Amino acid sequence: MLDTPVVWISTFDPRRIITFWKTGRLEDYETTIRCKDGTRKTIAWQLNPLDPNDSLSGFLTIGTDITHRKQLEDEIVRIERLKALGELAAGVSHNLNNMLTDVLGPAELLKLDIVTSATRARDLVRQLNQVVRRDVEYTLEPVDINTVINQAIRATRPRWGDEAESKGIKYSIQTDFPETTWVSATVTGVHDMLLNFIFNAVDAMPKGGDIHIKTECTKKGTRLSITDTGTGMDAETARRVFEPFFTTKSDVGTGMGLATVHAAIGRWGAEIDIQSAPGAGTTFTVLFQSASPTLPLPEIERSAETKSLNILIVEDDDIVSRVMQRVLSPPHTVTLVTHGQQACNIVQTVQFDLAFIDLGLPDQPGDQVVRHLKSQNPALYAILTTGWAIEDNDPRRVPFDDLMPKPATPSQILAAIARIPETLGK
């Protein structure tokens, strides 16, 4: 259905005549009208003076029925969100297993922080709801942006990891940020923003490439930057990239992703900037208002063991690693790292008896990490922790001594400790 114009002569429109006298131009506008049959239509109005030299001669008012166009725009937005939902759903299973670790641990230890775990599950529901509903808004809250970055990387891994590798294409995502950084935003909105940035970066690198995500605290706030090594954009494209329905993709996308991100950033009181050039990649920079956490982590009773181990936990999910730390210490000495490279660096100066290593780490797979750790310390006992389904004959299990699937309860964590050789520890 094409937009339908309706034309008539208007000789008196005081508000717009005054505007015309002051500025020399007439502003178009839209209104909603109710028809005799009760339906509503959206009309776009365009006004033109009959005689440009004599505004008192009257105006030609053209009203165009754009109801169908508005409906199509709303439908496109809905399709865009459903597409994002499909991408998000691929990583939901893995994320839920981590969340279940957060819930089962507090249930067994009784005094563990159930509120934190329930909040994360609530935020997952919010993420799914916001994808399919455009009218969902939430009050600003302190957001641990580094944790959300890691969650977004895991959620998008099926796209830039498994799917790309099956086509012989390699992407890498590197992160660089302080241990904890809190910003004023919404967990759902930040997660959605990061999904858009990562997917756009992957689309800009059809033959593979690198993505670098960095956060840093400044006097003006917390700065997030996402840089890709893609095709880049010229100045005109970069200027229009946040416009609704503007897209450079010929076969996918509707051009609403970055427009939605831009609107959310404005609601948070944050600022966004883009630096790009043809062939030189693109950097999106967001300056957030800094915030402080509102949910302190409570103390719990520690488990007691008869021997002391020096344990390394390589896990990029902050809540999962802290649950394990509470279960294991004391009497064990527990060191937490979030990246494989951090683990490889620390074993050069520290001797560990035992390592719990997640399979899906931000910078490299867990099986590669354990091979390097054992090359430095052949006596290291390594336990694979993962929420993915791993078969017994999976080659990624070979360098590990044991497997502890997620979600893991405190009793399952202690059971894994009980299976290690008696010769370990002191």
Query: Per-residue pLDDT tens for 4-34?
Result: 555 444 434 566 556 666 666 666 677 788 8
d(CA 182, CA 55): 57
Residue 130 is predicted with a pLDDT of: 47
Strand partners, 285: 225, 273
Helices 114-132 + 67-109 axis angle, to 10: 160
The per-residue pLDDT for 39 is 84
Q: In the chain, where are the structural domains located?
A: 4-65, 74-288, 310-418
Which among 169, 150, 41, 5 has a CA at the least distance from the CA of 91?
Answer: 150
The domain 310-418: what is its CATH number? Answer: 3.40.50.2300
What average pLDDT score do residues 122-151 get? 64
Low-confidence winner among 29-38, 236-245, 297-306 (lowest mean pLDDT):
297-306
Q: What is the pLDDT of residue 88?
A: 64
Q: Given the structure tokens 């509707």, which residue do they identify?
A: 254
Distance of alpha carbon 390 from its chain centroid, rounded? 26
Report pLDDT digits (tens) over 43-60.
887 777 676 666 556 667
Inform me whether the pLDDT recorded for 246 exceeds 70.
Answer: no
Q: Is 156 helix (H, G, I), strand (E, B) or coil?
A: helix
Please compute the mean of the pLDDT values over residues 127-136 and round it to a whole number. 46
Quote the pLDDT of residue 37.
84
Rounded to the nearest 5 percent, the helix, strand and coil shares of the chain are: 40, 25, 35
**In sequence order, what DSSP letters do the residues of 104-125 get, joined into one string?**
HHHHHHSSS-HHHHHHHHHHHH
Angle formed by the axes of helices 318-328 and 145-157, nearest 10° = 110
pLDDT of residue 294: 57
Q: What is the mean pLDDT of the chain?
A: 76
What is the C-alpha to C-alpha distance for residues 224 and 148, in angstroms, rounded to an integer?
12
Q: Which residues of 17-48 are buried (b: 16+ CB within 10 A; e: fewer)?
A: beebeeeeebeeeeeeeeeeeeeebbbbbebe
Q: What is the average per-residue pLDDT within 113-133?
A: 50
Terminal Cα distance for the chain, rounded: 79
What the block records as the tokens of 210 is 């690198």
Q: What are residue 238's DSSP bridge partners?
A: none
Confirm whether pTM is higher than 0.75: no
Instruction: Tell me the pairing of strands 221-228 and 282-288.
Output: antiparallel
For 137-146, 294-303, 320-329, which range has the lowest pLDDT when averaged over its residues?
294-303
Evaluate if residue 299 carries a pLDDT over 80: no
**Mean pLDDT for the stretch of residues 172-198:** 87
pLDDT at 103 over 50: yes
Residue 278: is the preceding peptide bond cis (ω within 30°)? Answer: no
Query: What's the mean pLDDT in 90-94?
Result: 57
Over residues 404-408, the mean pLDDT reads 80
**Residue 31 structure tokens:** 């209104």
Does the pLDDT of residue 161 top 90, yes or no?
A: no
Distance CA(418)–CA(426), nearest Å, equals 14
Print the SS3 string covering 297-355: CCCCCCCCCCCCCEEEEECCCHHHHHHHHHHHCCCCEEEEECCHHHHHHHCCCCCCCEE
* DSSP state string for 220-247: TEEEEEEEE-S----HHHHHHTTSTT--
CA distance 54 to 52: 6
Ranges 18-22, 25-29, 120-124, 304-308: which has the least confidence: 120-124
The backbone region for 97, taken as left when phi is positive above 0, alpha when psi lies in -120 to 50, beta otherwise, is: alpha
Torsion sign (Cα): 17, 18, 24, 29: negative
Return the minimum-mean-pLDDT range out of 13-17, 119-123, 149-153, 348-352.
Answer: 119-123
Residue 154: how many CB atoms within 10 A of its CB? 21
Give mean pLDDT, residues 123-133.
48
Query: 247 pLDDT exceeds 90?
Result: no
pLDDT (tens digit, 9 = 90+) per residue, 346-394? 998 999 999 999 988 888 888 999 999 999 999 899 999 887 777 778 8
Average pLDDT over residues 64-91: 72
Q: How confident is the model at residue 167 (pLDDT cuts 50, 70, 90)?
A: confident
Q: pLDDT higher for 379 or 254?
A: 379
Q: Which is the CATH superfamily of the domain at 74-288?
A: Histidine kinase-like ATPase, C-terminal domain (3.30.565.10)
